[in-house]
Structure 1
């Protein structure tokens, strides 16, 4: 700046060209010779100044050519990239600004878009030879009706478990009823969302399914016997409590049927769950076709893309009890919504944040992905409802990832008209795009996140990233106290075990819909090949560290993509807790929170 100031001063003097004041002699006159001499001196002085300015400009031009610009504008990010907890997008002080110019240099020791171990596993849901054929309708113990509750994905879990319960009871299953009175206010029936014919025929050898109870039977019983079973009921419970009622009443209807079957079942019943969820439940042709159109349009823009389920709607934030820095306005608005659930305790934002219950802001999701190694040229599809704070809240994420698309921007109102009035059908479109994305990113552990995580594991362990909010929240709060490289490395360390790797969870840990371990098999000789990959990775890492003059530490290569070269779940976390123990505790504690609450409206909210 001093250099530019001198140049500016020189030019100013030259332009002004003010004559120097002359002093007159006592006689009041100056000789013509003296005047001419002063004039020559002034011209020489001005010529010297001009020459100096020209010389300086020439030097600057040469520096610019050979050394590049003196100021690298990439070192000063757009104000919207500044860390903030507030949703109001107020301009932050300069010391909070973080440079993202070196994001492309974040170490990615393997393909961040795909696990290098995924090729060694495959989905396996065929029944064993011990699994008997379905009982014909005339020989069944009765008719089982179920009323699924909540939104699309909560209903999906209920439908899946209903088929298994019908198998346990040797009952004929009636096509499930969908909830028309929930928070989502969707009047769609089963046939409006799922292919009924395919559902019945694909499960023909497992369970007999009919569209309705025969009229003759209904005339004899007048109405079905209605009951509601506890959460996560065992096979033993259904045999002892439900079967006697089915045998005596002939038709039993189970209400609010979601998560009403135990997580742990016999292997053949678990595989039946997978056949229902991953094969039998297919969307109707109009939904499938529109969903595929959206996928194809994303593929036309880029050969690979990320899908992000933001889940940053006002109702979700109100339910979480978290605070995002929006002042009294935010507290008032979310407080009004929170009063809808009378069973919720008083909000405690700090406690919820410590426990990892607060969804990340859209900006934080974007920063996490950039820290993991995804460049700003990556294409993202965002599945979300009404984002709290609207476009202002999304601005930082769009600045981090300019190639930002939704189903609304990929299509027009005419194309979406058949679906737009129905929340479940719109959710189905997002489901299809998220399922077929190269990388799926969740922002909470609700039903859509769980269902899709399990499905993506079953179909080839496609990359699924779940933010480890318990660790990331404190990291985001202190982001301005560290360099970008340090921040990126800490994010990568936090995300070990949450990157959708094949061995992130042990059998029996976590919810079955998220970790369908009974339905995932290892290919022959996979063990030896995996060991060889790990050995090669360690060798490359050792060589890289030695060449860089670093201390060599032979721990697992996990880096930006979370690859488990040995087993990251056995590593210790930053606070010394064994990684496996810590992750299992977090998975199980979150499952209890989201699946054992009996408040109907809370159940509906957590659905998607």
Structure 2
């Protein structure tokens, strides 16, 4: 009885139209299941296709992800509201007309001479002297006969500095045969030292300085002296019209094809010989470099352990290593790379290793016509000026070694808004390259992750100049300070008005 009532109740509660539907057949079930499976299959394929186009662990659309990668490769570090700041303070006084003359012989290559000249501008100001246009080094490795006006705009230099230092093209005729003091100023000296040296004016009217490089301290100088150095380097000491004109044309040609890297590949005979770096060279090449070092009188260190140099990170990276490095950072093989350098040691033999990673290499002689370069032939210092201009204006600058050119370009790029400059961690990279040689590591995602992480904080972001290494004293302490011209912050770079404090 109970069962009957329950059945009756269930039947009466069922919707009326169910009473007239025939029971479904087995073929109908099979057909429904088949249709449902097809729908699920197409839906799943659509989802898989969408996921496969996205990077792992990212909800961004593919185009936005690719844009992020592009930004990471090319965008400069944010300047945090910092800008060039070279105007004198209110305490700065106009120069006086002193009948004292400072003659200078600027030693070294292009950038060693440039920074040395600017040091001498500041020294002339401190010593209340008239600066005679410096003589340039004609005895260095390049044997360049260029004069000051061949490389720099002499009249612009004189006119721009007239509110700071009196500069003349040559000594007055009545002083050409006058006795003069010859003085090797101490390296990295401060204001007090040069005030003391001013006593020489009591006995001489002309003071000759045989060397100009690194004559001023990097730190602890009055801010007006530091800003004067920046005005001299970045505003007064511009290149001559022929160099400026061709340099700008070459930059336009490079930029017309998109973004480019300027690679200062310091794999040149003089640098390899000076540093004693022979990794990857054959015995004949290594002996040639040793002989050159032995016969160069002013290179004091003769016996150098090449393996220790490389392990310590004191060697320029090879063309092959630079190719591996830039690919590991994420730059595609199609990247345009301008090689800012002189003759690469070994030529195509070693350049081919870089070309295997980046076929789109450009040099001065492939970017400029033969006629355009003809006037600069046999003048390595003038062609180095072209490299300098192209490097300063590049989208990314990468030096294979920290020399005078690399430091000067980095400082200029910092001054202009902290443009992206990647400084390879040579010591750390050599460890990775050695693992690759042993087969313990391969080019690919793992290497890319290690290299990228290693260089996160080595891309030109704003920071104050490094001081000396701890535990050192005297000249050794000063020698380890970061060059003022490599990073003129904070004296020549300051915060723009209205910008809040950096977080």
TM-score (norm 2): 0.79
Computed over aligned residues only, the root mean square deviation of the Cα atoms, in angstroms, reads 2.1
Native 8 Å contact 1:133 1:205 kept in 2: yes
Q: Secondary structure at the match of 1:111?
A: helix
Shift of 1:356: 0.7
Aligned to 1:481: 440
The equivalent of 1:192 in structure 2 is 150
> Does residue 498 of the first structure (1) align with residue 471 of the second (2)?
no
1:287 aligns with 2:243: yes
Work out the CA distance in 2 between the residues paired with 1:427 and 1:116: 27
Look up the match of 1:298. Answer: 254
- Compute the displacement of 1:412 (Å): 2.0
SS in 2 for 1:323: coil
Alignment-derived partner of residue 461 in structure 1 = 418
Count of matched residue positions in the alignment of Structure 1 and Structure 2: 420
Distance in 1, Cα, partners of 2:372 & 2:280: 38
Residue 215 of structure 1 is matched in structure 2 by 173
CA distance in 2 between counterparts of 1:108 and 1:300 reads 22
Give CA deviations for 1:197-239 in whole Å, capped at 9, x if unaligned.
11011111111111112113335x2x43222112112221111
CA contact (8 A) 2:279 2:307 kept: no
2:113 aligned residue (155, 177, 197): 155
Paired residues of 2:279 and 2:306 also in contact (CA < 8 A)? no
Partners of 1:109 and 1:186 lie apart in 2 by: 41
Q: Helix, strand or coil for the counterpart of 1:481?
A: coil
**1:430: which partner in 2?**
387
Q: Partner of 2:375: helix, strand, or coil?
A: helix
* CA 1:239–1:481: 2 relative to 1, 3 Å: same
- Whole-angstrom CA distance in 2 between matches of 1:405 and 1:370: 17
Q: Deviations over 1:538-584 (max 9, x none)?
A: xxxxxxxxxxxxxxxxxxxxxxxxxxxxxxxxxxxxxxxxxxxxxxx
Residue 421 (structure 1) aligns with: 378
Which of 395, 415, 428 does residue 471 from structure 1 map onto?
428
Distance 1:506 1:232, change over 3 A: closer
Larger proportion of helix: 1
User: Distance in 1 between the 2:275 and 2:361 partners?
Assistant: 26
CA distance in 2, matches of 1:173, 1:389: 43
CA distance in 2, matches of 1:527, 1:400: 43
Counterpart of 1:515? 487
What is the distance in 1 between the residues matched to 2:226 and 2:312?
A: 31
Deviations 1:261-316 (A, max 9, x none): 111211111110000000000111111111111111111222x1110110101221
Give a deviation string over 1:7-38, Cα, whole Å, max 9, x none.
xxxxxxxxxxxxxxxxxxxxxxxxxxxxxxxx
Gaps of 5+ in 1: 1-103, 532-608
Map 1:534-549 onto structure 2 (within 5 A).
none
Residue by residue, what CA displacement relative to the aligned partner does 1:352-395 show, whole Å, maximum 9, x if unpaired?
12221011111211221121121112111101112122102111
**Counterparts in 2 of 1:441-452, with a 5 A limit?**
441-452=398-409
CA offset digits 1:510-534 (Å, max 9, x no partner)? 1101010111112346456x54xxx
Could you tell me how far apart the structure 1 residues matched to 2:250 and 2:341 are? 15
Match of 1:331 in 2: 286
Alpha carbons of structure 1 residues 106 and 477: separation in structure 2 relative to 1, 3 Å? farther
* Segment of structure 1 superposing worse, 427-436 or 370-379: 370-379
Match of 1:310 in 2: 265
Distance 1:106 1:298, change over 3 A: closer
Aligned equivalent of 1:274: 230
Q: Quick one: distance in 2 between partners of 1:149 and 1:373?
A: 39
1:182 aligned residue: 140
Q: What's the offset of the Cα at 1:350? A: 2.2
Q: Which of 402, 425, 447 lines up with 2:359 in the alignment?
A: 402
Contact between 1:149 and 1:178, CA under 8 Å: does it hold in 2?
A: yes
Change (3 A) 1:526 1:363: farther
Q: 2:345 aligns with which of 379, 384, 388?
A: 388
Contact 1:148–1:179 (CA under 8 A) maintained in structure 2: yes
Question: For the residues of structure 2 that align with 1:466 and 1:491, how far apart are their CA atoms?
Answer: 12
The answer (yes or no) to whether the contact 1:119–1:460 under 8 Å persists in 2 is no
3-state SS of the aligned residue for 1:118? coil
- 1:477–1:333 distance in 2 versus 1, CA, 3 Å: same
Q: Structure 1 residues 268, 504: closer, same or farther in 2, change over 3 A?
A: closer
Structure 2 CA distance for partners of 1:362 and 1:325, relative to 1, 3 Å: closer
In the alignment, the residues of structure 2 paired with residue 360 and residue 327 of structure 1 have an alpha-carbon distance, to the nearest angstrom, of 17
Matched position secondary structure for 1:144: strand
State the shift of 1:251 in Å: 0.8
- Matched with 1:128 is 89
**Mapped contact 2:107–2:212 kept (Cα < 8 A):** yes
Q: Which residue of 2 aligns with 1:319?
A: 274
Q: How does 1:14-93 map to 2 (within 5 A)?
A: none
* CA pair 527-506 structure 1, distance change in 2 beyond 3 A: farther
* Alpha-carbon contact 1:356-1:469 (below 8 Å) kept: yes
